[in-house]
Amino acid sequence: MKISYHGHSVVQIETNGTKVIIDPFINGNELTDLKVEDVKVDAILLTHGHNDHVGDTVEIAKRNNALVIAPFELATYLSYKGIQTHAMHIGGAHTFDFGKVKLTQAFHGSSYSDEQQNIIYTGMPSGILFTAEGKTIYHAGDTALFSDMKMIGERHEIDVAFLPIGDNFTMGPEDASDAAKWLKAKRVVPIHYNTFPVIQQNPHSFVQLLPEGVGKVLSPGESIELS
């Protein structure tokens, strides 16, 4: 399994001959190494409906005939755009051909702003547990620290956790370091930082808050191989 990071909260997973991308915010993301027209994926996973996470989902899904997996209200809204969706909700899991997806809770908001500046409610925000090839990846989405992360860590052996550290909208570095401790992940990668001035952080300082060898800063385009 190959897991790559592409700026902000964009994570791509290659497993079992399938490519999956999480929260593909590309256009407008100055930190990404990706171009929408070059993205080749079979499925898109979304944590919530904010513009910096839904991003270029519709174009990528149509271009690739990709399945979009998202919380119920967000999946329903995107289905109106003419793309194939699979709706889920927090606590639910589903096994696809390429792996198992389970949604966890996240403490945040979830809405989408259209061109007319209408705010559309898109359901509860979520985190994602993705399991394939005997490995489990946790993408926390946008979230505050919450104590049930302890339960997530107790019930799931997490190989890599992607945690937001930007503060202001999500956990900051200190809270994210507590999340890492509770999740007991073997590897922790910081996400959702430095894209906008208000979420400027030093990811290397965050890594220093973690036990030696646990934290890993990935530059856009860098990856982790799990075997």
Whether 226 maps to a domain, the answer reads no
Q: What is the DSSP letter of 160?
A: E
Q: Tens-of-pLDDT digits for all 227 residues of the chain?
A: 999 999 999 999 999 899 999 999 999 999 999 999 999 999 999 999 999 999 999 999 999 999 999 999 999 999 999 999 999 999 999 999 999 999 999 999 999 888 888 999 999 999 999 999 999 999 999 999 999 999 999 999 999 999 999 999 999 999 999 999 999 999 999 999 999 999 999 999 999 999 999 999 999 999 999 98
Beta-strand ranges (E) seen in the chain are 2-5, 11-15, 18-22, 43-45, 67-71, 85-88, 93-96, 99-105, 111-113, 119-121, 126-132, 135-139, 160-164, 187-191, 223-225
Whether 224 maps to a domain, the answer reads no
Whether 223 maps to a domain, the answer reads no
How many whole angstroms separate alpha carbon 173 and alpha carbon 189? 12
Long-range CB pairs of 61-68, under 8 A, 24+ apart, other chains included: 63/36, 63/37, 63/39, 64/39, 64/40, 66/41, 66/42, 67/42, 67/43, 67/96, 68/43, 68/44
> What pLDDT does residue 115 have?
83
Task: Express each pLDDT in 10-29 by its tens digit.
Answer: 999 999 899 999 999 999 99
Strand partners, 13: 3, 20
> Which CATH number does the domain housing residue 71 bear?
3.60.15.10
Whether 12 maps to a domain, the answer reads yes
Whether 38 maps to a domain, the answer reads yes
Q: What is the DSSP letter of 211?
A: P
Number of separate domains in the chain: 1
Whether 81 maps to a domain, the answer reads yes
Q: Note down the domain range covering 153.
A: 2-216
The tokens describing 23, both together, are 């929260």
